[in-house]
Structure 1
Amino acid sequence: MKRSILFLFAFLLVSTLFAQTSSLQNFYVGTFTSEGAEGVYLCSVNPETGNVSLVETFKGFDNPNYLSLSPNKKYLYVVTRVSTEVDKSGGYVCAYKIEKDGKLAFLNKQASNGEDPCHVDVSPDGSFVAIATYGGGTTSLYPVNSDGSLQEPSTVNRNSGAGADPSRQSGPHAHSIRFSPFSNEVFSADLGTDHLDVYNLVDNKLEAADQAFVKMKAGAGPRHFEFHPNGNVIYVINELNSTITSIHKSKNKWATFQIISTLPKDFKGESYCADIHISADGKYLYGSNRGHNSIAVFEVNEKDQTLESIGTVSVEGNWPRNFGITPDGKWMLVANQKSGDITVFKLNKQNGIPEFTGYKIKLPSPVCIQFL
């Protein structure tokens, strides 16, 4: 009898621990291996406490600096930067199958068609992968096979032009590319030309839209962007002048309607914007400042989607290159490249402010977070 009770107790204990473990929110971390990282890291965050932990390390990558998951969460796509002294291609986009335990099984890779690939996105139906290369100023579209592997690119666009800052904008620098969740449009931010380029996905190819681009302020340096849930507004974060440009669609044309700083008025040092995300309900917008080392917080006007600055919050680290909001909307995780850590914040439901939990995990050169 006692043995049966002890067995039942042990069974319940193991079941409880398994349930707690299985409820953890896993996420992948992209890094710069040239700065001491070992590859792609699989981590988890406790959805109740915000505590983070390392699950596994996947080696064999060269600077896996940006990652993107397929909509069905079965595949992970990674852009890798390779020194041209080692490989003349300048980089690759790699496809991996995600196993049940989060392990990665390599499928194949394709050349990036430009040096320093820095961003990758997957179409809403999972049929295409698109990448941007900073050094090459190119954007490429790759059809996806039924097994998640990548075909050769169906489109390679090479940008041209320059911007107002000769030290950073002497030529094109495509810094991000994203499929619209609301149409067949595909957008790409080019830091070198101050353009948000606009494409249409037609017959498995990227074609320049009738409105080929939206012009940012000279010297702004557009880097990343985010869609408002209503489908008619895009927020572009500008690296070089630390602003967010708001764009809306009016009479079938994209046009800017607001520019707002991400920095406090009294800040005098150097700072460069990096990443941008919006809350699922569209009420709050967040942007990261590298140098000021903060998250800028904005309230989004419900009627006209203009932004009002709420303030900035320290990231409790150095150089927040990327950050992410957990799928349940409770937590913000910030990847601080130079301090080599990921810091965890709880999002205040009443005012949208990220509140530091005290939790952080040390990881070398984290630069991208993708939740599984």
Structure 2
Amino acid sequence: MKAFIYFLLFLPLFGLKSNAQEIKKFYVGTFTSEGAEGIYLCGFDTKTGELSLENIFKAVDNPSFLKVSPDNKNLYVVTRPAVEIEELGGYVSAYAIQKNGSLQFLNKQVSHGADPCHVDVSPDGKFVAIATYGGGTTSLYPVNKDGSLQPASTTIEHKGSGADKSRQSVPHAHSVKFSPFSSAVFNADLGTDQLNIFELKNNELIHATQQFAKMKPGAGPRHFDFHPNGNFIYVINELNSTVTALKKQNQKWESFQTISTLPDDYNEKSYCADIHISNDGRFLYGSNRGHNSISVFKIDKTSGKLNLISTVSTEGEWPRNFALSPCGRFLLAANQHSHNISVFKIHQEKGTLEFTGNELQVPSPVCIEFIN
């Protein structure tokens, strides 16, 4: 009887703990130049798919892309202040993440290029890299023990142009990622139709033996993702609305497929943005701005080839970025122009998406980053 009473006393505590575990926090990067106030902290219920706004961290100029460190202790943010504030183009800032998700500013470093648009953290958390769209540069920053950033140890200025002179007259570095499988660092350059390849060596970035993998002329590579098996890289191309699949053969990355993200009967303008692969490596998702949809592809487990399964409306306009929830059961789409984040349930066997009806109004959301 006494044991039963103890059970009843502690039951509410267990319930609270379970509920807390179901709520995952995530940050939203925004464009303050389009009415937002800074970095938004939100909650996501992994059981119901419901969203909530928890806090807003203001006085941050256009925090366009965010990245949480592997140990979940720090958040790194690229910002685009007006040229009158920083003539070198912008900053990359470091924050300490508090237990409740609040952010403590640590420091910032100049971006060494206009319009910084992407940031990533090395798997060991010792380096941060950024890409600048306007400057066409990739920079590497060593990280101090407290998570703050040292000045850039390397800044590489890209060279070249592409076939579309209206968009590709100069380099436009649009994303950068550390390989989870090697010391390689990759950068997608929209302006030169290249996936550039570097090596991290002696705290600096150097050109790899294979300096780049080329996309089709006028493709405009924007973002990319690594397949969990390490054999494939998938690049989403903004200008021709395609995904290019690459495989490493004889120590060289080579493309073996380029496939459209749009339905055959769609003939209006659309521009790809973000790309993510499911944790199990079976499905790939890409966003279309204009068509305002998420394209769902099945990945052949042997060849790595893609097959377009469906395109699903994002229930908003201009899905610049989206994220897969840490549990892998949901997709959250950030619709920049309609100022909302919409939630989709992922069918675990088919990979298809179903709108849950849950959404959250956030001004000009352009990046979603979960605290894992």
Quote the residue 2:242 is aligned against.
Answer: 243
Equivalent-residue separation in structure 2 for 1:86 and 1:153 (angstroms) = 20
Quote the residue 2:275 is aligned against.
Answer: 276
Residue 34 (str. 1) matches residue 33 (str. 2): yes
Equivalent-residue separation in structure 2 for 1:358 and 1:21 (angstroms) = 22
Q: What is the identity, as a one-letter code, of the residue corresponding to 2:192?
A: T
Equivalent-residue separation in structure 1 for 2:10 and 2:55 (angstroms) = 26
Quote the residue 1:100 is aligned against.
Answer: 99
Residue 359 (str. 1) matches residue 358 (str. 2): yes
Per-residue deviation, 1:86: 3.0
Aligned positions of 1:69-80 closer than 5 A: 69-80=68-79
Aligned positions of 1:56-135 closer than 5 A: 56-135=55-134
Per-residue deviation, 1:22: 4.7
Equivalent-residue separation in structure 2 for 1:11 and 1:279 (angstroms) = 38
Equivalent-residue separation in structure 1 for 2:105 and 2:302 (angstroms) = 46
Equivalent-residue separation in structure 1 for 2:42 and 2:13 (angstroms) = 22
Q: What is the identity, as a one-letter code, of the residue corresponding to 1:313?
A: V
User: What CA deviation, in whole Å up to 9, does each residue of 1:192-211 have, x standing for no partner?
Assistant: 00010000111111000111
Equivalent pair of 2:319/2:334 in contact (CA under 8 Å): yes
Equivalent pair of 2:62/2:81 in contact (CA under 8 Å): yes
Per-residue deviation, 1:160: 1.1
Q: What is the identity, as a one-letter code, of the residue corresponding to 2:34?
A: E
Per-residue deviation, 1:82: 1.2
Cα gap change, 1:303/1:9 in structure 2, threshold over 3 Å: closer, same or farther?
closer
Segment drifting more, 83-92 vs 140-149: 83-92
Equivalent pair of 2:22/2:47 in contact (CA under 8 Å): no
SS in 1 for 2:217: coil
SS in 1 for 2:40: strand
Per-residue deviation, 1:20: 1.4
Equivalent-residue separation in structure 1 for 2:86 and 2:182 (angstroms) = 37
Aligned positions of 1:197-212 closer than 5 A: 197-212=196-211
Equivalent-residue separation in structure 2 for 1:265 and 1:22 (angstroms) = 43
Per-residue deviation, 1:225: 0.1
User: What CA deviation, in whole Å up to 9, does each residue of 1:266-296 have, x standing for no partner?
Assistant: 0011000000000001000000000000000
Per-residue deviation, 1:232: 1.6
Quote the residue 2:3 is aligned against.
Answer: none
Aligned positions of 1:1-372 closer than 5 A: 13=12, 16-17=15-16, 19-372=18-371
Q: What is the identity, as a one-letter code, of the residue corresponding to 2:85?
A: V
Q: What is the identity, as a one-letter code, of the residue corresponding to 1:167?
A: S
Per-residue deviation, 1:354: 1.1
Per-residue deviation, 1:23: 3.0
Equivalent-residue separation in structure 1 for 2:33 and 2:9 (angstroms) = 46
Equivalent-residue separation in structure 2 for 1:237 and 1:95 (angstroms) = 28
Q: What is the identity, as a one-letter code, of the residue corresponding to 1:84?
A: V
SS in 2 for 1:21: helix
Q: What is the identity, as a one-letter code, of the residue corresponding to 2:298?
A: E
Equivalent-residue separation in structure 2 for 1:232 and 1:198 (angstroms) = 16
Per-residue deviation, 1:100: 0.6
Segment drifting more, 21-30 vs 237-246: 21-30
Which runs of 5 or more residues in structure 1 are unaligned? 1-7
SS in 1 for 2:33: helix
SS in 2 for 1:167: coil
Equivalent-residue separation in structure 1 for 2:282 and 2:335 (angstroms) = 25
Equivalent-residue separation in structure 2 for 1:87 and 1:202 (angstroms) = 30
Per-residue deviation, 1:90: 1.3
User: What CA deviation, in whole Å up to 9, does each residue of 1:275-332 have, x standing for no partner?
Assistant: 0000001000000000000000000001111001101011011000000001110110
TM-score calculated relative to the size of structure 2 = 0.96
User: What CA deviation, in whole Å up to 9, does each residue of 1:308-360 have, x standing for no partner?
Assistant: 11010110110000000011101100000000000000000120001100000
SS in 2 for 1:160: coil
Q: What is the identity, as a one-letter code, of the residue corresponding to 1:309?
A: L
SS in 2 for 1:34: helix
Per-residue deviation, 1:29: 0.4
SS in 2 for 1:213: strand
Equivalent pair of 2:225/2:275 in contact (CA under 8 Å): yes
SS in 2 for 1:68: strand
* Aligned Cα root-mean-square deviation (Å): 1.7
TM-score calculated relative to the size of structure 1 = 0.96
User: What CA deviation, in whole Å up to 9, does each residue of 1:180-227 have, x standing for no partner?
Assistant: 000000000000000100001111110001111011100000000000
Equivalent-residue separation in structure 2 for 1:350 and 1:183 (angstroms) = 31
Per-residue deviation, 1:89: 2.2
Segment drifting more, 17-26 vs 264-273: 17-26
